Amino acid sequence: MKRILYAIIFLAAGAQFAVAQQRPQYTQYIFNNYLLNPALTGIENYTDLKAGYRSQWTGLEGAPVTGYLTVTAPIGDNFLQGDATASPANGGINPSSRLYTQQYQAAEPHHGIGFTLVSDKTGPITQTNIDATYAYHLGITSSLNLAVGVSAGVSHNVLNTSQLHFGGVDDSDPVLYNINNNQWKPDLGLGVWAYASNYFFGVSVQQLLPQSLYTTTSVSVTQNKTVPHYFFTAGTKLFLSDDVTLIPSVLVKVIQPVPTTFDVNMKLSFADKFWLGGSYRRNDSFAALVGFNLSSFINVGYSYDFTTSALNTVSNGSHEIVIGILLNNRYKVTCPQHTF
């Protein structure tokens, strides 16, 4: 009976680890690739703080809910314009314009530091990742930058056994008391990012150190482990006019043993004021996106996912909102200059 009950528990509580992506997914990854790749640490010339919230498959009980806070800043005094926060006065050339692209120069070598806090709750499972990040940026040609980054921290994994119910089975069975349902585990990630004025591509891995979760002293279980998540990202900027650009990008996710999946994103940017976009996630959803650079201090992005999988019969889609704060923005740039 205990073995049967234990199997039921792990079917309910460990499903996200055995058959699905274990880390949160983001429709607005193009707005904050730093969440997926630590090599973007310190990529801009200001302190970039972002807060995001995602409610996935609304209307479905126990569906994933994700919140995060990220902050990243450059460090260095050997920049073309001076130090790590330097830029032409008053923001200089519009980062979306052709002229900026023509005059773009790779950054001098510099460092970046950052911090991420991500909390993801799915049913009775809550996973919180707390990581510090570091990256080193250098120009490998006159117009191409390469950055290498690392993230390191801890993952806090909690299984709320009070939310596990088994019908006629006695919920107070002793096997429940033997489950290690509150664990701290080490977390490690690596990334590489290449970027120029009109294209970027990167490779990263999260959960590089596989960990066993929710173990018990009564039954030996090895199946419920975290697995590495590999991300391959690329995008380019295509000019439709001097200040209107189309930015297609793709994100490929490789997570064994589930099938490889991908996101395709199209973002239409109007100077440095606002942008519209659309996204497709294989076998899952279509999404509409919109974002506004409200000032040199704050920007905001919103997306709504239209579920196309079998969950569309019980789900009302997914909402995601991201708010960005530009700190130490001495030259009042209103949109990113090295991410787009």
Question: Which residues partner with 184 through β-bridges?
Answer: 156
Long-range contacts of 240-243, Cβ-Cβ distance < 8 Å, separation of 24 or more: 242/97, 242/98, 242/99, 243/94, 243/96, 243/97, 243/270, 243/271
pLDDT values of the chain reduced to their tens digit, one per residue, 340 residues: 344 334 434 434 433 433 456 788 899 988 889 999 999 999 988 899 999 999 987 777 778 899 999 999 998 765 545 556 566 656 667 777 888 888 888 877 899 999 999 999 988 889 999 999 999 999 899 889 999 999 999 999 888 777 666 665 555 555 566 677 788 999 999 999 999 999 999 999 999 988 877 666 555 544 577 889 999 999 999 999 988 999 999 999 999 888 899 999 999 999 888 999 999 988 888 999 999 999 989 999 999 988 887 676 667 788 999 999 999 887 788 888 888 7
d(CA 217, CA 90): 63
Residue 53 main-chain phi, psi, to 5 deg: -140, 135
SS3 state of residue 286? strand
How would you class 178 by CB atoms within 10 Å of its CB: exposed for 0-12, middle for 13-18, buried for 19 or more?
A: middle
Nearest to 137 by CA among 125, 145, 126: 145
> Is 103 strand, coil or helix?
helix
Q: Which of 338, 340, 286 is closest to 312 using CA atoms?
A: 286
Read off the amino acid at residue 172.
Answer: S
Q: How far is CA 330 from the centre of its chain?
A: 27
Query: Of the candidates 280, 279, 333, which has an alpha carbon nearest to the alpha carbon of residue 301?
Result: 279
Which has the closest alpha carbon to 301: 44, 28, 24? Answer: 28
Q: Are 320 and 26 in contact (CB under 8 A)?
A: yes
Write down the pLDDT at residue 158: 86
How far from the centroid of its chain's Cα atoms is residue 221's Cα? 30
* Count of CB atoms situated within 10 Å of the CB of 114: 25
pLDDT of residue 3: 42
Give, in order, the Cα–Cα distances in Å from 284 to each of 17, 88, 281, 315, 317: 18, 43, 5, 12, 10
